[in-house]
């Protein structure tokens, strides 16, 4: 009985904020950007040619939704699926737009599974800046492939993620698999 009454008095130690960095050249543009006010929405792209879409890492740009590689990925193949309409939350979308987004997320999982062979996925959305959204005014889904051991000692000990593939390599590998997306979804 005495052991049930005893309370453990533990103090939480502060988490180290200091972190190490590994070479990730595509992040320099993000890190160098000190003022993020009046930033253009990366999802609000209009009629662009294929070269411009490729530079923006867009794998698919349909009339109602798009799929693009995340320029600052958590893992190789980290995709974002976004509606073309600039809305902050899914309830502001039409049922048709929500259905298209769900279909695109499923298509992205299927393609990532067949090309990169991940063991699992994290799929989710950060709605609002307090939830961690980098672009809080334009809702989007994250599709993050996961592998056994991809969370290793580096993030825990050194607050650093290791990515084994350059973004341009990921884009070149995935782009051909998103060409027939309209046919696959109809």
Q: Tell me the catalytic residues.
A: 140
**174/123 Cα distance (integer angstroms):** 18
**50/61 Cα distance (integer angstroms):** 10
| Assigned token pair, 75 | 């893992």
Q: CB burial class (10 A; 0-12, 13-18, 19+) of residue 159?
A: middle
Instruction: Please say whether the beta carbons of 75 and 150 come within 8 A.
Output: yes
């Amino acid at each position: 009985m005495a052991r049930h009454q005893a309370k453990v008095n533990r103090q939480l130690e502060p988490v180290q904020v200091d972190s190490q960095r590994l070479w990730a050249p595509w992040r320099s543009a993000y890190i160098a950007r000190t003022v993020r006010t009046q930033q253009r929405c990366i999802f609000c792209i209009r009629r662009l040619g294929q070269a411009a879409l490729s530079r923006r890492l867009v794998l698919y740009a349909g009339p109602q939704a798009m799929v693009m590689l995340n320029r600052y990925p958590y893992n190789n193949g980290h995709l974002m699926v976004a509606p073309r309409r600039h809305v902050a939350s899914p309830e502001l979308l039409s049922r048709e737009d929500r259905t298209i987004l769900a279909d695109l997320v499923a298509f992205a999982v299927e393609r990532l599974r067949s090309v990169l062979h991940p063991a699992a996925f994290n799929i989710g959305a950060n709605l609002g800046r307090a939830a961690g959204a980098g672009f809080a005014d334009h809702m989007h889904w994250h599709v993050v492939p996961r592998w056994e051991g991809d969370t290793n000692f580096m993030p825990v000990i050194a607050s650093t993620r290791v990515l084994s593939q350059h973004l341009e390599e990921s884009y070149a590998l995935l782009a051909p698999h998103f060409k027939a997306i309209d046919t696959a979804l109809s």
